[in-house]
Amino acid sequence: MDIKVLGPGCRNCEMLEARTREALDELGLQVEIGKVTDPMAIAAYGVLTTPGLVVDEEVVVSGKIPTARRLTELLSR
């Protein structure tokens, strides 16, 4: 599983990363989370509002911070 947090490194990006880690822990998965901070690279994913979350090159979250429970659902697909 390849996971990336898209955003400039703001507080919301950090919160999305923390909740994603919570969800991964809940699922018992050890996955490294990458960070994409370059605005052009973020835009290449079609994300115009950060933070964004990409799982296996598919944007699953954009412009919001879901609960850890919702992230668990997204990551268990």
**CATH, residue 28:** 3.40.30.10
pLDDT band at 3 (very low <50, low <70, confident <90, very high): very high
At 67-77, the pLDDT tens digits run 999 999 999 97
- How much of the chain exceeds pLDDT 70, in percent? 100
pTM of the model: 0.94
- What is the pLDDT averaged over residues 20-36? 96
**Contact yes or no for 53/4 (Cβ under 8 A):** yes
For residue 62, what are the domain limits? Answer: 3-75
Catalytic residue among 1, 2, 9, 10: 10
29 included as an active-site residue: no
13 included as an active-site residue: yes
Q: Is the dihedral of CA 44, 52, 25, 10 positive or negative?
A: positive
Indicate the number of domains in the chain: 1
- What is the pLDDT averaged over residues 5-33? 96
* Beta carbons within 8 Å of 10's beta carbon, 6+ residues apart: 50, 51
pLDDT band at 15 (very low <50, low <70, confident <90, very high): very high
Catalytic residue among 3, 6, 13, 55: 13
